[in-house]
Amino acid sequence: MISVIGGKLTTAGSLARECVAKIGVQAHPPELVIVSENRVDQTLERWVEVVANAGGIGVDKARGIAEWYGRRAVAVAGEARGRPELRAPLCPHTGHIVAEAVDAFNNECACTLADVLLRRVPVALGACWSSSCSRDAATRVAAALAWSEKRAAVELEGFEQERSEFLPKASATGAH
């Protein structure tokens, strides 16, 4: 298993290609989208429309999915087609939707709610995340994946524990 944490956005693509090469998979050459003076290349805008149509979701949510998942965006958004509960946001503070969590379990080998919310769709790393957000996300993901009440409670508890261990405490970092 290769695990990468940190780095810079400018090196993410090359780092991803290095990791893929290490496991023996041939990477596709990078594709560029040109952004200049408040104008995004029209190919991105067309792709956002395709993603929005695939999932029956709004353009803002589709743009986030298109930027986050690239070529897989249509498949991720497509999970939400015909399932309104998958078009719901993971919490009120994010544009990331439940379909992304479902996709992480179905296609990205996610095993736990913590794995999804901290690493696959890392919405729980946001400054505005709260215990209310945790409950909302757990409830929505549990309903989408038909988890029992017991499993939902165990997943939520495990997530909260892992999140508290994952994030540095304000006093430990010297923050005031």
Res. 113 pLDDT band, cuts 50 70 90: very high
At 20-79, the pLDDT tens digits run 888 888 877 766 555 555 555 668 888 999 999 999 999 999 999 998 898 899 999 999
* Alpha carbon distance 128, 115 (integer Å): 19
* Alpha carbon distance 134, 140 (integer Å): 10
Cβ within 8 Å of residue 140, ≥6 positions away: 85, 88, 90, 98, 101
Residues 101-139: b if buried by 16+ CB within 10 A, e if exposed: bbbbbeeeebeebbbbbbbbbebbeeeebeeebbebbbe
Write phi, then psi, for 36 (nearest 5 degrees).
Answer: -150, 135
The confidence score (pLDDT) of residue 20 equals 83
* 139 inside domain: yes
Res. 176 pLDDT band, cuts 50 70 90: very low
Q: Is the pTM for the entire model greater than 0.75? A: no
Do residue 73 and residue 105 come from a single domain?
no
**Full domain range(s) for residue 62:** 42-78
* 49 inside domain: yes
Res. 17 pLDDT band, cuts 50 70 90: confident
Counting residues of the chain whose pLDDT is more than 90, the rounded percentage is: 55
**What's the total number of domains in the chain?**
2
